[in-house]
Chain A
């Protein structure tokens, strides 16, 4: 990977979120969020559905104004067209009929915001091929993207986000709707990209477990409040109980983490068969 351009905070944090609060329709969706991400760091953004993860992404991307606080990307204030950030949104639905090949999707990552029709075919094609190689999706290049599996589509979207050479990659719930094997492959791919290309990753998930082997740090969101640090620092009963505003237990079983909401403390623990999403807030699944 080429060296980062000067003046983009090469040594400082690639992302600093400082005291960000967001009010939407009279409700405080995010409250005093603060954390930093260093270059090449693999960060999880963990929390139950509806905790404000997508809103936080939209603030970082400049799609949603913060009511208070500031966001610096590469040491600079937000800019809509900031090429430093690559983004994989939640729930991109590829209709099987859509006349788009995987290589078209990746190519749009290069110049999809431009006017006119693409020129410079061979150079463009080389860049797209190289990117598809980098995400182990070379063999999918000419497949209709709507016919690919969920994991394959995620890899194509990751290639789409990476081809503009960002230094920070935001991924909104990329593991949702993937089977366990595809989940592992996507996580391993992202970890490799972060390590080899020194691209910082911020990946949101409602379940912390798939990310445990690769995560350097995490930001936990619950009820609009956040805590950040290493897994050991954040996923503790005291920290999470303070976030949720109710007693929460953290169980570690065979290297996996189970967060359990119990209304009356340890004696009244309610353990539920978990699937992450459809549960009481904050319950992280154990598989």
Chain B
């Protein structure tokens, strides 16, 4: 038993402070991005979410220059960028991609400047990699309470606006006719998406933040057809990806090249993708089983076996 454990978890895994912090932060962030991401996918705002993450790199690099935690930089810039996108026309379907693209370009331009200044002002060459691709093991312990508090706040907003978000995603006109403040709901959603993406940027990097925002929800949509269920499954998938990623990254210190661990973000994103593919297989198997069911005796169909009902793992 202990040999198996030793094979899975390299020596020192459970005693390591950075690992413990990574496990907690990674799980909290995965739950939040999963819940937020389900609506990102439903509302077709993956591009906006991705842009908010990348633009955040300008903030992360600026924060590094001033010596504050990158999280505050990511978030400050992402929220401002979200506001800019909204002003430029994110709410109008036709100018949506344009608004996103403009803000993304401007933000990355700033990131180019700040990252250059970061690299020239210090001897540490890893800044650019850390900002863009993250470093879960380097998450500083003092930022932990803030991560948890922000995550809780995002979940509270989601729970409050849950039905309105669904109704506005269905049809803005329908929602408006029922008295839902459609624009306000859209702006609130944009802000929590900016916060969630910033949390993801803190863990797996500004560029890879979308992987957590979109990947686990996309996996969940393959497995369940309930909106609440999708949020739960997305959270679980995200946590699984992050934790497996952490274990593999820790183990990789003993892989070649020895004494240089592989980036944890690589493992997390790889796991997100593998789980997505796996969910596709599970969904296909479920469909095949049901088709056999339906094709069998016609009497069963009459008695309530539903040909329309599809995969639901929740």
Chain A interfacial positions (CB closer than 8 Å to B): 58, 61-63, 80-81, 85, 87, 89, 92, 94-95, 97-101, 104-105, 108, 111-118, 139-140, 142-144, 147-148
Contact = CB atoms under 8 A, between A and B. Distances in A.
Given A63-B177, A97-B41, A108-B166, A139 B221 contact: no
B288 interface: no
B102 interface: no
Contacts of B312: 142
B225 A99 contact: yes
Contact of B174 (A89, A111, A148): A89
A139 B301 CA distance: 11
Contacts of B41: 97
B176 interface: yes
Nearest to B230: A99
B244 to A, nearest CB: 24
Nearest to A139: B306
Contacts of A114: 163-164
Q: Please report whether the interface of chain A is mostly helix, strand, loop or mixed according to DSSP.
A: loop
A112 B178 contact: yes
Given A63-B177, A101-B225, A116 B159 contact: yes
A111 B42 CA distance: 19
Contact of A89 (B38, B171, B224): B171
Given A104-B166, A116-B162, A117-B159, A89 B227 contact: no
Contacts of B227: 99-100, 104
Interface in B222-271: 224-230
B167 interface: yes
A116 B228 CA distance: 13
B166 A100 contact: yes
A148 B308 contact: yes
A81 B181 CA distance: 11
A99 B167 contact: no
B179 A113 contact: yes
A115 B164 contact: yes
Nearest to B161: A115
Contacts of B169: 98
Contacts of B166: 100, 104, 108, 112
Contacts of A61: 173, 176-177
Contacts of B124: none
Contacts of A140: 308
Nearest to B160: A115
16 contacts: A80-B177, A87-B174, A98-B169, A99-B224, A100-B166, A100-B170, A112-B166, A113-B175, A113-B180, A114-B164, A115-B161, A116-B159, A117-B163, A117-B228, A139-B308, A144-B308
Interface string B29-65: 0000000001001100000000000000000000000
B7 interface: no
Nearest to A113: B178
Contact of A105 (B164, B170, B175, B220): B170
Most buried by B among A95, A98, A112: A112
B309 interface: yes
A99 B173 contact: no
A113 B174 CA distance: 10
Nearest to A91: B171
Contacts of B309: 142-144
B282 to A, nearest CB: 15
Contacts of B306: 139, 142-143
Contacts of B175: 112-113
A139 B306 CA distance: 7
A98 B42 CA distance: 6
A80 B177 CA distance: 6
Contacts of B310: 143-144, 147
B311 to A, nearest CB: 9
The 9 closest A-B pairs by CB, nearest first: A112-B167, A81-B179, A143-B308, A99-B230, A113-B178, A144-B225, A61-B177, A89-B173, A87-B177
Nearest to A93: B171
A176 to B, nearest CB: 15
A116 B171 contact: no
A74 to B, nearest CB: 15
Given A114-B163, A116-B162, A80 B179 contact: yes
A144 B228 CA distance: 14
Nearest to B308: A143
Nearest to B180: A113
Contacts of B180: 112-113
